[in-house]
Structures are given as structure tokens and as C-alpha cells.
Structure 1
Amino acid sequence: MGATPAGAPPKSEDAELLAALGYEERFDRKVSLWANFALGFVYLSPLVGVVSLFAVGLAAAGPPSIFWILIVGLGQLLVALVFGEVVSQFPLAGGLYQWSRRLWSGRYAWFTSWTYIACITIGITSTALFSSDFVASLFLGTADEPGVASTPGQRLVIAIAITVVCFLCNSFGTRTLALISKIGLAAELIGIVLVGLYLLIFARKNSPSVFLDTMGTAGPGGYFGAFLGASLVGLFLYYGFEACGEVAEEVPNPARSIPRAMQLTVVVGGLAAIFAFAGYALAAPDLPAIVSGADTNPIPAILQGSIGTVGTKLILVVTLTSFIAGVMSQQAAASRIVFSFARDDMFPGSRIFNRLSRRFHVPFNALIAVNVLPLVIFVFVYFSPDSLTKIAAFQVLAGYFAFQMVVFAALRMRLKGWRPAGAWTLGKAGTAVNVLALAYGVFAMVLLAMPTGDADAPFVDRWIALIGFLIVSAVGLAYLFIAKPDRKSTAPEGDAIDIAATLRERQTRLQTTARRTS
């Protein structure tokens, strides 16, 4: 652990753990358990996910598409449990990068991180772009036409504005990030709970039995294929809980609090999403029009018919707040993983990106870097408006792949004898949960890679998620084997078993000292 120099203040327990893992304290630990939960929650953002995917799910498989929120939620909870054990032993900034490095190797971690950075960067892009219709409805919608679709030009301006505002807020440090995350959490819960209750109790126009009614969405081969097509309702919703671990070095007692924050994010986020989806579906005045695809932006009209113009505007403000908090949390997570990557000399331009700003202690250069590609894609989408859903499809597949890289590495290390030694573990159930999480993840990736759209659509359009993923993977592998960035790094790798033994020895010493003192 290393001795504290004479005259120096004693290290905190968090700093000692960080030193044992090979790093020194550089961040401010100002993100509480609830702020950490809020960060993951607004990244997952059930309100944003539901309002963005409500019409898509109903058009694909009718009201039963709501069950995908439950199915995927249970699967992602398994993944969150695995992540919880890993982050409890390795509470380091950069999350997925550090976990896969310590569970396997620097090379393995490099590819995991390359894929995840691509995912989260596209996440910033798609969240900002999806906000445009709600901003347009807020400022341009009327009582006669509450749901206004933004033009390509408006979408470009709105997305840039959202991204810049979030970047500026992130630049003011962890305290600002935590505050806005809490505001976003409050906005989400108000928007979901209060509005959901009102819709279910006072504005219900449909029977709960509609959730068992396919409403004619079954294709020539039966309903099963249509139901699988609606899986995006759940699959697009449940990622973001890993952001709790990306800021681990900014959280007090992270080994205990971050696993709980991850689990809360999945459970509360999932229940909130089901509640919101059900409320909107039961309050829809013309559900068949949504299922048929005739109404592609139904949320404003549902709100308008239920709570009036003023109420609709207030909910749109809440939704916009959620979008802003979501983009902020994605920027924060992406910048921390780039910083952690660079700190180990594994990222191009590491000397630039491993720095923290002097005043606010944030990775400012990394924060700038993760916002460059979104700005470029905003311009691309301006000239190709139909490309947004295709970009989002790649984003989620890449994210799930990065998740499963960690899950697979954890299972491999368990089979080699690793017993997680963090403050939070699953005990004997850990291996079974790990296997189930991996099986679920493979199933989810197959669904995400499946062709989408009409069978007569162009080949590239139908397979865009898989094609985009393969291209990004090929570029990453080419750089990995040509530039060999892992050879430049001397940071620890593949040491999960050794660190677990060290932590157990430390815990035994502390317990012995406590008994002697008492």
C-alpha cells in the first residue's frame, strides 16, 4: 500500500484503494450515491427512451411490445450485477476500459474501449438529434398541431445548441454535473410518475387488454417475427447504467455505492419506462393510427388531448431537461474513458488527453474530443435526414458488444480462479449470474444485428447496424495491430486474481487490528 510521508496528511480509504490499484487521487470526490444514481438514470433516461421509441414499438408489434421493456430489463440487470462485482474491486475512472484491462489485457481493453467510445459518441449524437422534434413542438407547436416535426435545418441548429450547452455545463466540474443530473432525475420522475398517474386514472381511453392485442401487426410468418422486431423498444432503452462506473474516482466509497447505483438505475429506470409506456398507450385517442404508422409522433397529441396546451408545454420542458441531462451524462462518461485510456498511454495524443483542468478538475481536452465527431455527424444528418435511425442502430449494437466483452472477460477470469474481493459481491451465485448475463447478451446482439425494414429495401439499409459495427471493428483492429498502442503502456493488466488476494489480506489486517483495539 505504501507508507505516508512524514508530515503529509493521512490518505483516505478511497485514496489508499486507488493507490493499491496503481493510481493517485486526482479527481474531486463530489458525486454522492444519489448523484451517481441520477447520472446513470438520466443517461438511461426512460422518459427520453419511451417518447423516442413509443411509436416505433407500436408500429412494429402493437401494444404487446411493452413486454420487451421487462424482458430486456431483467437481462440487463444480470449484466449490471456482473459489472457491480467488477467495479467494486476496480473502482477506477474509465469503467469498461479499466475493467476489461484488469480482467484480461491491455490489447483486449483497447478494442473494448474503441467499440464503446464509438457507441457513446454516437449516443451523444442521437440523443441531441432526437431532442429536436420536442424542442420544435415546445416552441412551434399549437393547440391545433401540438406535435411538430423539426426540419433538417432546425434539427441541425437544435442539436448543435444542445451539445454546446451540455459541454459548457460539463466544463464547470463534477459538482455541476452532479447537480444537473439530480435535476434531470427529478424532471424524469415528475414527468413519468405524475403524468403517468394522470393518464392512467383520468385520461384512459383504452382497456388494459390492448397489451394482449397484436392489432394486425402479425406478418405472413406469424406474430413472432413482428414481436422480435419490436425488441428495439427495450434494447435501445437499457444502457447507461455503466456511466455510474465511468466516474468512479469522483464518488466517495465507490466500491459499495456504485454497484447499488447501477442496480437502482436498471430497476427504477425499467419500472418508470413501463409505467410511462402504459400510460401513453392507454391514453392514446387513436391507437390504431399509431400502430399502422400513420401517426409517427403521437406523444404531443396524447398530452394535448389529456392535459391541454399548458400541461403539454410543461411536460415538453421536462422532456427537454431530460434530453439535456442525458447528453451531459454521455459526454461525462465518454470524456472519462478517454482520459483513463490516455492516462495509461493507450490513446493517440495521450499527453493532451490525460490532463485535468486546474480549477474544476475535469478532463477538459478529452471533453472537447468526444464532441467533435457528433458535430460532424450533425452535418451529415442534415444532408441525409433518414440516416438517424440507422446511426442509432449501430450505436446500440456497439454498446452491447462492449458490455459483453467485459462480461466474457469476467467469466474467463472466474474460470481461472478469480473470486471478486470488492466490498460488494454476489458470492457463490456470481458464476451462474455471469453465465446468464453472457447468454442474454449474445441473444441481444443477435436481435440488434438482424436485418430491419422491408424485405425489398436496399441490402445496406437492412443490415446497417451490423455493417456499421463491422466497419468500426475493422478500423479499430487495424490500428491495434499496426500501431500496437498496448506496447506503449506499462499500466497493470490481467491482475484481477492478484488484486483480489491483496484486498483480502488487507481486509484481514484491518479486522485483526479492529479486534485488538476493541
Structure 2
Amino acid sequence: MAKMESQAAVAVPPSVDETGLTDSGDIQLLAKMGYKQELRRQYSTVQIFAVAFSIMGLVPSIASTLTFSLPAGPAGMVWGWLIASILIFTVGLAMADMASAMPTAGGLYWWTHHFAGDKYKKVLSFLVGYSNTLGLIGGMCSVDYTLSLMLLACVSIARDGNWSASNGTIYGVYAGLILLHALCGIYTGKIMPKIQTFCIFINIAIIVATVIALPVGKVTRGASLNPGSYVYGHVDNLTTWPTGWSFILSFMAPIWSIGFFDSCVHMSEEALHAAQAVPLGIIWSAGCACVLGFLVLSIIAACMNPDVSATTHSVYGQPMAQIYFDALGKRGALGFMGVLIVIQFLIGLSLIVAASRQVWAFSRDGALPFSNYFRHVSQRVRYQPVRAIGGLVMVCIIFGLLCLINAVAANALFSLFVASNYIAWGTPILCRLIWGKTRFRPGEFYTGLLSRPIATIAVLWLGFGLILSMFPSTGPNPSAENMNYTIVINGFVWIAAMTYYVLFARKWYTGPRITIDGSSSMVDSTSGDDVRAERKRAGES
């Protein structure tokens, strides 16, 4: 892999040295992008990987997305995961190339501004920043809504399926979980890296336990495992789409599950040796999800009820709960669901940490309403963006009110995650392909001659995945309850963001802002008049 070109030293603010926030190498690289060090660097390479791996939470994520893949049968579930996850891995590689060269918390919108043509850099950067921010918010809502359903599913199992939660109960549990995640995210900052390390072990433990316990429990209860021909060759179609398209729609399971490796990017300004830690965190997390997910789904397919519809229409409200119940009985199912709940909680905790860094970075560049308020970093709480976390909580609790309507309304909101993030991921990669041939300077991680072909495949996949995310999963003539509202919700977000930009933000949003004095910076070469204007406002000549 190519090494980073030598760079001129950049002045380091005395305040950073005095607080011991980081080492000079990371400070200088960040300063070349125009930013001073404000957060505390305390995450090792393994812990950066742990953030993304924890947010993916492989087994609970698979449990949450079985409804996307099971309609295609076991073969669609297993092979759909493998095919899509390999393509998603190319996105991780393309992102890792840029993350190594330019590791900053605002990553995606910063890269877009850096690579895009002069006419488009501000508007595209603005769109990507809002898409990424709202995609992360949609992810937070989705994680805690799913966690509330998992908690209430355990209550249903304990009562032998004779109880179901009302919408008000679901929302109450959801709002409580959001608040608890916020408090934990703020006050566990000192031990958060250790929590992330723990997340690796508990996620690996549930994978190993699931892979061993499901087949052993199935056999112990006197049932036989499904043969390999069923696991890898049996195709169902519980939709009204053609069978081939039903198989393609099973890609939505890995699209939903392997969707947060960009969290490594948002932790860039807290990573030790970020030029190496961030890209490795991205590719390790995406690669592990590909391989381990295929293994877990193969075991699930071998142990599930051969009648797929019996699992998809479980009385417990969760297909995975039914699979555990069939193989392990009531106590075993409750035990495993309890562990999944713990992991799902840790997913939400890691996600609110990563999302708050995106909100903080975007506020630092003046793009969000009340940016001066949300860009504040609390030195009393170990250099945490406390106000950004508080803002996220308020938005999530308000958005979560859709839970009070019905599950369809709630799922419409949560569709923000896939489509918005795919726009946010694909735009900087596309900008690099179109305009960035001379602007891209490799970092410590670089895929070399394969870099542009990989980026091309990644853009094509993201475009396809974006379109796929807008299809109704049940068939071409959906009812109001089965309709996919992704285009409505995301269309509103994109139109609203662009309207806000045209009417107001274009007058003051200039892209990444300079927050440090330096002899030169990467933004100088691509921002031109914008940087000079920003420096003039900051009192620089």
C-alpha cells in the first residue's frame, strides 16, 4: 500500500498540547484539513473497528431484517446475503481509501467538497451532510424502535403469546431507551473505548452461541436439521413479485445490516493514528459482517421450520424469536433474546456516539440550524459534544411519535437510513471518480491500481441499492400498509434540504471552515475563494 506523501508541518495550538488530547502526527494531519484538535483521541485501531462492528451488531441485525430475506426462502436468505455483502465491501474499500488520506469527523461531506467541481462543491456538500445526518438519525430511531419490540417480544414469550403491546407502550419504551442511550453516551465517555472492546467479545460470543446452540437444541428436542439442499438450494416466494426479483429483494437484509461502517469515519478525530485506524476499522467491520453473517444465516436456515411462512408470521412478532423458540424452547428463547437485547442496547449506544460526532462536525462548519450552540465541546465531560447528543435525542423523540400511528408510519421514518446514507456514501466516491484524479493523494491505506475500479463498482452498487430500497417488499400492487414510503420520506428530506440551501444557506454556507492557523491546508487547493472568504471572516489576511 502506498505511503502518504510527506507534508509540511502545521502549527499546533498550545491548548491542544496542554490538555494532552492527542499526538502531534494526528494533529498535523487534521490541521492540514483546516481543523484544530477539539476532541480527545483515545480510540485504538481495534476500538475504532469495535464501534462499527458494535453498531452492525450482526446477530440482532440479522434478527431484525429476516422479514426482508425470508420471503425468498433459505437460499435467497443465505446467498442474497453473501452476494450483497461482497458488493457492500467494495463500498467500504472505496471509503477506506479516502478515510486514510483525509480522516475527519465530517468525512463524507468534507470529501464531497474537496473533490467536487467548483460549481457543485457547496451544494453537493450540503446535500451529503444533511443526508448523512438524517440517515444516522433514522438509524438511531430504527435501532431503539427494534429494541423496544424485542423487549416487548420477550414479555409476549413469557406470557405464552397471549399479550401484545399497544402503540403507546411501544413509544414509551422507545422514548425511555433514547434518553438512556443519551445519558450513557455522555457520562461513559471516559470508559467508552473499553465498552467498545467489550462489544467485540459479546458480539462474537452470541455468534458462537447461536451457531452451536441452535443445531444442538434442535437435535436434542428430537427434530432433524434441514439438509444442505434445503439451506443452499430451496427458493421460496412469499411475495407477489416474480421469484427472481424476490431473490434480489433479499439483498435488503444485508443493506440494512451492514450499514454503519461510516461510523469509523465520524470517529476520525478521536482515533489514535487515524490514517491507519479508520480505514482498517471500515474494512474489518464490513469483511467480518460478510463472512460471519453467511455462517449465521446458514445455521439459521438449517434449524428453522421448513415452512417459511410459519416463521415469518410468528405470534411473537419477531421471526428470530420463533426460530430460537422452536430450537431451544421457552427458556432458551428468552435467554438468547435477553442477550440480543443487551447487544441491541450497545448498538444504540455506539450509534448515538458516532452520530453525535457527525452532528458536531456539521455544526462546526455552520451547516445546521443553531450550529454555534451544537458545535460546543464540553471540557467538563471529557471533551464530549454533549449538546449535539442532546439535539439528537430531541429529534429522535419527536420523530418517534410516528410509532403512535402504526408500524407502517414508523418504518417509513426508519427508511431514512438506507436511502439517505447511500446518497451520502455514493456522492463523494462519484465526485472523486469525476473530478478527483489529480486531487486525490493516497494515505497510508490505499488499494493502488484497483482503487478506481473498486470505486466504480461501489458507485454502481450504491445506485442500484438506492433504487432497490424504494421497492415495496410484498409485491407490485401494495396496500397502504405494505407500501414502501422511502421515496416519500427521503424525497421530502432532499427537497427540504435543497430548498433551505437555495433560500438561506447558500448565502453563508461555504463548506468546511478553517478553525486553525496553518501554513497550508488541503482545503486551500480546492476551496479557492471560499477559503479566502472564510479566513477573511476569521480575521486572517
**For this structure pair, what is the TM-score category when the shorter chain's length is used for normalisation?**
0.7 to 0.9
Question: Matches of 2:182 and 2:252 in 1, distance apart?
Answer: 29
SS of 2:253's equivalent?
A: helix
Partner residue of 1:400?
422
Q: How far did 1:408 drift?
A: 0.8
Residues 1:263 and 2:283 are matched in the alignment: yes
Deviations 1:334-389 (A, max 9, x none): 21111111112222212101111122211111111112221112222122233233
**Kindly tell me: are residues 138 and 444 of structure 1, through their superposed partners in 2, closer, same or farther at Cα, counting changes over 3 Å?**
same
Select which of 175, 187, 191 maps to 1:176. 191
Select which of 34, 38, 44 maps to 2:46. 34
Q: How far did 1:140 drift?
A: 4.9
Deviations 1:474-510 (A, max 9, x none): 10000011112573447469957959xxxxxxxxxxx
User: What amino acid sits opposite 1:128 in the alignment?
Assistant: D
Residues 1:297 and 2:309 are matched in the alignment: no
In the superposition, the TM-score normalised over structure 2's length comes to: 0.84
8 Å contact 2:94–2:454 — kept in the other structure?
yes
Select which of 391, 398, 401 maps to 1:379. 401
Select which of 344, 358, 371 maps to 1:323. 344
8 Å contact 1:177–1:328 — kept in the other structure?
no
8 Å contact 2:265–2:278 — kept in the other structure?
yes
Q: How far did 1:148 drift?
A: 6.7
Deviations 1:28-52 (A, max 9, x none): 1111111111110121221122111
Question: Matches of 1:95 and 1:251 in 2, distance apart?
Answer: 13
Residues 1:80 and 2:102 are matched in the alignment: no
Unaligned runs of 5+ residues in structure 2 are: 1-8, 219-223, 515-520, 527-541
Question: Matches of 1:491 and 1:277 in 2, distance apart?
Answer: 43
Question: Matches of 1:25 and 1:366 in 2, distance apart?
Answer: 17
Question: Matches of 2:522 and 2:458 in 1, distance apart?
Answer: 23
Partner residue of 2:333?
312
Question: Matches of 1:398 and 1:125 in 2, distance apart?
Answer: 14
**Kindly tell me: are residues 107 and 215 of structure 1, through their superposed partners in 2, closer, same or farther at Cα, counting changes over 3 Å?**
closer
8 Å contact 1:133–1:149 — kept in the other structure?
no
**Kindly tell me: are residues 6 and 347 of structure 1, through their superposed partners in 2, closer, same or farther at Cα, counting changes over 3 Å?**
closer
Residues 1:90 and 2:105 are matched in the alignment: no
Residues 1:207 and 2:227 are matched in the alignment: yes
Q: Where do residues 241-260 of structure 1 align in structure 2 (5 Å cutoff)?
A: 241-260=261-280
Q: How far did 1:414 drift?
A: 3.2
Partner residue of 1:418?
439
Question: Matches of 2:79 and 2:42 in 1, distance apart?
Answer: 38
Residues 1:161 and 2:204 are matched in the alignment: no
User: What amino acid sits opposite 1:192 in the alignment?
Assistant: I
Residue range with higher mean Cα deviation, 44-53 or 484-493: 484-493
Deviations 1:235-279 (A, max 9, x none): 211210000110111010010111111001011122222222222
Select which of 120, 123, 129 maps to 2:139. 123
User: What amino acid sits opposite 2:196 in the alignment?
Assistant: S
Partner residue of 1:440?
461
Partner residue of 1:506?
none
Partner residue of 2:518?
none
Select which of 488, 498, 505 maps to 1:477. 498
**Kindly tell me: are residues 294 and 2 of structure 1, through their superposed partners in 2, closer, same or farther at Cα, counting changes over 3 Å?**
closer
Residue range with higher mean Cα deviation, 362-371 or 293-302: 293-302
Question: Matches of 2:126 and 2:167 in 1, distance apart?
Answer: 36
Residue range with higher mean Cα deviation, 228-237 or 257-266: 228-237
Deviations 1:391-414 (A, max 9, x none): 333421111111111211221233
**Kindly tell me: are residues 213 and 341 of structure 1, through their superposed partners in 2, closer, same or farther at Cα, counting changes over 3 Å?**
same
SS of 1:101's equivalent?
A: helix
Partner residue of 1:113?
129
**Kindly tell me: are residues 132 and 459 of structure 1, through their superposed partners in 2, closer, same or farther at Cα, counting changes over 3 Å?**
closer
Residue range with higher mean Cα deviation, 272-281 or 359-368: 272-281
8 Å contact 1:397–1:465 — kept in the other structure?
yes
Question: Matches of 2:350 and 2:418 in 1, distance apart?
Answer: 17
Residues 1:429 and 2:450 are matched in the alignment: yes
**Kindly tell me: are residues 63 and 6 of structure 1, through their superposed partners in 2, closer, same or farther at Cα, counting changes over 3 Å?**
closer
Partner residue of 1:364?
386
Question: Matches of 2:481 and 2:306 in 1, distance apart?
Answer: 34
Select which of 202, 208, 213 maps to 1:193. 208
Question: Matches of 1:95 and 1:491 in 2, distance apart?
Answer: 11
Residues 1:355 and 2:376 are matched in the alignment: yes
Residues 1:20 and 2:40 are matched in the alignment: no
Question: Matches of 1:109 and 1:311 in 2, distance apart?
Answer: 49
Partner residue of 1:59?
71
Q: How far did 1:112 drift?
A: 0.2
**Kindly tell me: are residues 216 and 86 of structure 1, through their superposed partners in 2, closer, same or farther at Cα, counting changes over 3 Å?**
closer
8 Å contact 2:148–2:174 — kept in the other structure?
yes
- Tell me the C-alpha RMSD between the 2 structures: 2.8
Deviations 1:159-196 (A, max 9, x none): 11211111011102543332333333322211112221
Partner residue of 2:157?
141
Partner residue of 2:486?
465
Unaligned runs of 5+ residues in structure 1 are: 500-518
Question: Matches of 2:145 and 2:14 in 1, distance apart?
Answer: 55
* Identity across matched positions, percent: 17
User: What amino acid sits opposite 2:436 in the alignment?
Assistant: R
Deviations 1:270-328 (A, max 9, x none): 22222222222221245333467466523223323433444333322221122111112
8 Å contact 2:88–2:286 — kept in the other structure?
yes
Residues 1:276 and 2:296 are matched in the alignment: yes
**Kindly tell me: are residues 113 and 224 of structure 1, through their superposed partners in 2, closer, same or farther at Cα, counting changes over 3 Å?**
same
**Kindly tell me: are residues 459 and 39 of structure 1, through their superposed partners in 2, closer, same or farther at Cα, counting changes over 3 Å?**
same
Question: Matches of 1:367 and 1:117 in 2, distance apart?
Answer: 12
In the superposition, the TM-score normalised over structure 1's length comes to: 0.88
**Kindly tell me: are residues 490 and 61 of structure 1, through their superposed partners in 2, closer, same or farther at Cα, counting changes over 3 Å?**
closer
Question: Matches of 2:99 and 2:400 in 1, distance apart?
Answer: 34
